[in-house]
Amino acid sequence: MNETGQIITIFIGQCGVQIGNACWELFCLEHGIMSDGYMSDNYYTDDNSYHSFFTPTQSGKFTPRTLMIDSEPTVIDEIRIGPYKCLYDPTVLITGKEDAANNFARGYYRTSEEIIELVLNGIRGVSESCSNLLGFLIFRSSGGGTGSGFTTSMLERLETDFGKVSKFNFTIYPAPNISTAVVEPYNSVLTIHRTIKYEDCCFIIDNEALYDICTRNLDINRPTYTNLNRLKAQIVSGLTTSLRFEGSFNVGLDELRTNLVPYPRLHFPLITHSPILTPQKLMNQLITVSSITNECFRSTNQMVKCDPRKGSYISCCMLYRGNVSPSDVNSTISSLKNNKTIKFVKWNLTAFKIGISYQPSIAVPDSDLGKADKSITMLSNNTIIHEAWVRLLEKFDLMFQRKSFVHHYLNEGLEESEFVNAKENISSLIDDYKNAENDYTI
């Protein structure tokens, strides 16, 4: 196997850190690493697949190449005393003294001023152990104060030191009908406005879509954040499998960016994953390359509440793993091209990018998700994503017309003109996606 490239993961805010817990639980299982960071005696590997996410130390321990960041210590303190407390280097668990109070401006100014240098020094320290840094995977909620404001400040500073390194953002986006904070539309619009030029790709996930998937596919009547985050971890694992394990067609981060993003501003792909079934349902279904691929083109499997059939696909990256043959993939792609319900923009004639890894997915023991011998994670740039922005701006306008809650942002140093500029920028983004459906001129 060629030299393995390295990825730095950064989990920000309460939402991001909780996703991080689920991700490292799964990554440790995939690479045979125990909760204390040492390789399991029952696991043997003759490659360096673990180098993508873990840094080997002189003592034989494997330390996650990551940072966990929050403006207040509660969630990260749970890691410091939890079952994985020995896994992490203590210096990458970074906390401030007070939370950002669901306020973009407070996260951008006050929280940033308190911990930004600690974070940047931590990122530099982790990057120095990398011989071939491929990029950053950043996880946060756009509706929270730390996830929106602090992440924006960090991305602006990262541009100076790591301007050419890929930055992939996984953003938990305000769901259409459920919300944890009334000011989520403000925080989300402001952070998208400020970060759109500092990130190469932003994968949007809304928890409401995941709630529906867990209820429908996994028979969970009341999904918890643990259920949702373990599903998100499977998606991240599927996206990075080609970077870590052998396969007939491996896809790197730069290839994903090249094939998914036709214009710099249109970098918000949809994510789907299949199969998402309980162990019992998996036993009673025939899982084929064709069946799991077709699942990915249905609205019920989207990680954002939207119907891709109402828009047009600009590009698709289909990342298979497990017992998958290239001939089955080719025949499936051919049938998709003849499917009249799946629309593609007319100006892109080579819309598919394929990755195949031989490593099958792994399910966390005692979890609700079954282990299949083949699976797919599909990343697709579809013009329908503009519906998510339209919903967001409608909620933004309802509050901003009355200047509701605006004074909280002004008191932290944000100017009112920033709200106006942010709204105009998102409106322009909506127009960009609408234009992409009919024309190639953005």
Q: Which residues are catalytic?
A: 255
For the purposes of burial, counting CB atoms within 10 Å of the CB of 424, is it exposed (0-12), middle (13-18) or buried (19 or more)? Answer: exposed
Dist. CA 190–CA 192, nearest whole Å: 6
Q: Which residues contact 293 (CB under 8 A, 6 or more apart)?
A: 274, 318, 329, 332, 336, 376, 378
Q: Cα angle at 400 between 398 and 404, to 5 degrees?
A: 95
Distance of CA 359 to the CA centre of its chain: 21
Number of residues in the chain: 442
- HSE at residue 377, side-chain half, CA atoms within 13 A, is 23
Q: Hey, what are 190's tokens?
A: 């402001």
Residue 199's nearest CA partner among 114, 241, 142 is 142
Residue 241's nearest CA partner among 404, 151, 355 is 355
Dist. CA 87–CA 73, nearest whole Å: 18
Q: Hey, what are 183's tokens?
A: 């000011």
- HSE at residue 352, side-chain half, CA atoms within 13 A, is 16
Phi, psi of 56 (to 5 degrees): -75, 140
Q: Hey, what are 27's tokens?
A: 């990554």
Assess contact for 36 and 87: CB atoms under 8 A. yes
Residue 267's nearest CA partner among 326, 183, 203 is 203
Assess contact for 342 and 304: CB atoms under 8 A. no
Q: Hey, what are 221's tokens?
A: 């009547």
Decide: helix, strand or coil at residue 40. coil
Phi, psi of 279 (to 5 degrees): -55, -40
Dist. CA 389–CA 384, nearest whole Å: 10
Distance of CA 53 to the CA centre of its chain: 15
